[in-house]
């Protein structure tokens, strides 16, 4: 991918795999600077784009250093690290001095270098973080620099790409945003098979325990009567037959109130109805589902009470076909996350191999093959699994296929699969960026400070 003959110059901060670079390069831009501190990604960026990125952005230093080190550019892009604002993180935001204040590094470069346009990307939760104060602070700080700012959120599936991944985009312009329009979101259905590749070898094998859990739930779905509406709540099989208290008090409450016997003598059943009478309190604890045995849980939240109630009723109403399934599969011998099922395919034929599966802490998630789940950076075990009817055999999506979900099919990925999945889970979708940038850069040709002629720029983004 070449960047030598662009018609506008851009910089790519927190560059990762270079999703912004791919998009702006396709629009005719020239990458002139990048920053990425992770050594493998830093080296890979050089291989892919012939730019050696700066490492830690915090080391750029004073305004004078920034003026010297960062070349002049018309467009700044930055997918600043999102953990401080992510629902999955601890949400410290700007108070997270290690990562939360990286926005201020972006702000410093905007202040010193004054590029005419910027595009920033982050998790959508940044818009609600701290009661909306984080968003207001960011906007106010950008406006103070003279930028008109707008925000919208988009997911690749709104651009025909089969991945649901909602992200917030901030765009800014020193020339106002009168002519700018956000791209149109498409509602057409997407299909995961559009990114499947049969020319690449399947990646690492699925562990036998995972395959076994898929078989177990596949059989559960097959046994369920066709006229039964499958639950839209998560199915928690450990609640099948359980009778421990959860409405007015909790196991933790009983263990405090009856510190000698606990639940013993109350004639109640733990997970899957296992008897608790005559057991010591530690033995009782082992037989209470992990969602119900925290020592500090003296009252369950409404949503949890609801899920427990619904699961116990579902079991009672369907005991005739669930009991033989329990006896055959013994789900209590599986890891607790495999004991739960999230059926997100209401109304579909119940063949588990028709679907996209994801092994989450919250359970085995079964999704229609219209979209892949959002790629995430955390763990390799959560890489989507394709059912056998989609690809001939059950297998994980390969890094090359996940790259297609991020519209990054044309670049080299990290050699290690784990590193590739991680980087793809952090990346920005290049097609979404390109659609946004297309309109945002359109106005650049009218900008008095632009070093380019209208002719050049229009040619680049046509």
Ligand X SMILES: C[S@@+](CC[C@H](N)C(=O)[O-])C[C@H]1O[C@@H](n2cnc3c(N)ncnc32)[C@H](O)[C@@H]1O
Choose, by CB under 6 A, the member of 27, 44, 51, 82 that binds ligand X.
Answer: 82
Q: How far is the CB of 105 from ligand X (least distance, A)?
A: 7
Q: How far is the CB of 36 from ligand X (least distance, A)?
A: 5
How do strand 167-173 and strand 117-122 relate by DSSP bridges? antiparallel
Please identify, using beta-carbon distances, which residue of 159 and 300 lies nearer to ligand X.
159
Q: Provide the token pair at 285.
A: 């604890």
Q: What does the DSSP 8-state code read for residue 332?
A: G
Please identify, using beta-carbon distances, which residue of 55 and 212 lies nearer to ligand X.
55
Q: DSSP letter string over 142-170?
A: HHHTT-EEEEEEE-GGGGT-SB---EEEE
Structural contact between residues 9 and 28, judged by C-beta atoms closer than 8 angstroms: no
Site for ligand X in 14-73 (CB under 6 A): 14-20, 35-38, 41, 56-58
Distance CA 180, CA 149 (A): 11
Q: Is 401 in the site for ligand X (CB under 6 A)?
A: no
Dihedral sign for Cα atoms in the order 240, 246, 252, 254:
negative
Site string for ligand X, 94-123 (x = CB under 6 A): --------x---------------------
Q: Provide the token pair at 150.
A: 């707008």
Our CA dihedral for 400, 404, 406, 407, rounded to 10 degrees, sits at 130
Please indicate whether residue 402 is annotated as part of the active site.
Answer: no
Site for ligand X in 278-297 (CB under 6 A): none
Q: Provide the token pair at 108.
A: 């410093």
Q: Which helix (H) or strand (E) holds 212?
A: helix 208-223
Site for ligand X in 323-362 (CB under 6 A): none
Radius of gyration of the chain (CA): 26
How big is the CA angle at 96 (ends 94 and 98), to the nearest 5 degrees?
A: 115
Report the half-sphere exposure of 92 (CA within 13 A, side-chain side): 11
Please identify, using beta-carbon distances, which residue of 56 and 454 lies nearer to ligand X.
56
Q: How far is the CB of 457 from ligand X (least distance, A)?
A: 24
Dihedral sign for Cα atoms in the order 159, 163, 166, 168:
negative
Please identify, using beta-carbon distances, which residue of 221 and 427 lies nearer to ligand X.
427
Q: How far is the CB of 240 from ligand X (least distance, A)?
A: 41
Please identify, using beta-carbon distances, which residue of 57 and 437 lies nearer to ligand X.
57
Please identify, using beta-carbon distances, which residue of 81 and 369 lies nearer to ligand X.
81
Choose, by CB under 6 A, the member of 11, 292, 345, 427 that binds ligand X.
Answer: 427
CA proximity to 370, closest of 422, 411, 405: 405
CA proximity to 401, closest of 419, 422, 384, 380: 384
How do strand 8-13 and strand 75-78 relate by DSSP bridges? parallel
Q: How far is the CB of 126 from ligand X (least distance, A)?
A: 12
220: phi then psi, degrees, rounded to nearest 5: -55, -45
Q: How far is the CB of 131 from ligand X (least distance, A)?
A: 24
Site for ligand X in 407-426 (CB under 6 A): 426
CA proximity to 74, closest of 115, 46, 33, 107: 115
3-state helix, strand, coil in the chain (%, to 5): 45, 15, 45
Query: How many residues make contact with ligand X (CB under 6 A)?
Result: 22
Please identify, using beta-carbon distances, which residue of 190 and 426 lies nearer to ligand X.
426
Q: How far is the CB of 432 from ligand X (least distance, A)?
A: 11
Distance CA 441, CA 173 (A): 9
Q: In Å, how far from its chain's centre is CA 346?
A: 23
189 three-state secondary structure: coil
Query: Of 11, 15, 22, 82, which one is the catalytic site residue?
Result: 82
Please identify, using beta-carbon distances, which residue of 85 and 325 lies nearer to ligand X.
85
β-pair partners for 236: 340
Please identify, using beta-carbon distances, which residue of 154 and 307 lies nearer to ligand X.
154
Q: How far is the CB of 186 from ligand X (least distance, A)?
A: 22
Stretch that binds ligand X, among 62-70, 78-86, 107-115, 343-351 (CB under 6 A): 78-86
- Report the residue closest to ligand X, judged by CB: 16
Q: Is 79 in the site for ligand X (CB under 6 A)?
A: yes
Q: How far is the CB of 461 from ligand X (least distance, A)?
A: 20
Q: Which residues bind ligand X (CB under 6 A)?
A: 14-20, 35-38, 41, 56-58, 79, 81-82, 102, 426-428
Q: Which residues are catalytic?
A: 82
């Amino acid at each position: 991918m070449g960047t030598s003959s662009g018609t506008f110059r851009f910089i790519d901060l927190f560059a990762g795999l270079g999703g912004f670079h791919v998009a702006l390069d396709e629009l005719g831009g020239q990458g002139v600077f990048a920053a990425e501190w992770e050594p493998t990604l830093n080296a890979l960026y050089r291989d892919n784009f012939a730019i050696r990125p700066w490492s830690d952005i915090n080391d750029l230093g004073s305004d004078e250093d920034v003026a010297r080190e960062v070349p002049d550019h018309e467009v700044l892009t930055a997918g600043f690290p999102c953990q401080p604002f992510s629902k999955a993180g601890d949400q410290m935001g700007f108070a997270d001095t290690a990562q939360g204040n990286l926005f201020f590094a972006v702000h410093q470069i905007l202040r010193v270098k004054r590029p005419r346009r910027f595009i920033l990307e982050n998790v959508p939760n940044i818009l609600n973080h701290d009661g909306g104060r984080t968003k207001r602070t960011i906007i106010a700080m950008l406006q103070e620099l003279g930028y008109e700012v707008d925000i919208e959120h988009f997911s690749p599936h709104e651009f025909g790409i089969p991945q649901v991944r909602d992200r917030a985009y901030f765009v800014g312009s020193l020339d106002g945003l009168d002519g700018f329009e956000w791209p149109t979101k498409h509602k057409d259905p997407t299909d995961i098979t559009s990114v499947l590749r049969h020319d690449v070898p399947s990646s690492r094998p699925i562990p036998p325990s995972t395959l076994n859990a898929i078989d177990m739930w596949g059989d559960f779905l097959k046994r369920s009567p066709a006229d039964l509406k499958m639950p839209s709540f998560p199915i928690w099989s450990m609640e099948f037959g359980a009778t421990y208290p959860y409405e007015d008090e909790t196991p933790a409450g009983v263990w405090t109130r009856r510190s000698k016997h606990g639940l013993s003598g109350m004639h109640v059943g733990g997970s899957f109805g296992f008897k608790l009478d005559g057991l010591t309190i530690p033995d009782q604890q082992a037989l209470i589902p992990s969602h119900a045995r925290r020592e500090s849980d003296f009252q369950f939240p409404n949503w949890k009470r609801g899920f427990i109630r619904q699961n116990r009723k579902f079991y009672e109403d369907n005991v005739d076909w669930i009991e033989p399934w329990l006896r055959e599969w013994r789900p209590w011998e599986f890891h607790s996350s495999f004991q739960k099922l999230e059926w997100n395919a209401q109304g579909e034929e119940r063949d588990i191999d028709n679907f996209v599966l994801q092994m989450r802490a919250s359970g085995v998630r079964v999704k229609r093959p219209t979209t892949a789940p959002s790629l995430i950076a955390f763990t390799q075990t959560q890489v989507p699994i394709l059912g056998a009817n989609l690809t001939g055999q059950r297998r994980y999506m390969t890094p090359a296929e996940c790259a297609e979900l991020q519209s990054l099919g044309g670049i080299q990925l990290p050699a290690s699969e784990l590193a590739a999945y991680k980087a793809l889970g952090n990346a920005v979708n290049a097609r979404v960026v390109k659609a946004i940038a297309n309109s945002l850069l359109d106005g650049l040709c009218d900008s008095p400070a632009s070093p380019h002629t209208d002719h050049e720029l229009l040619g680049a983004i046509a």
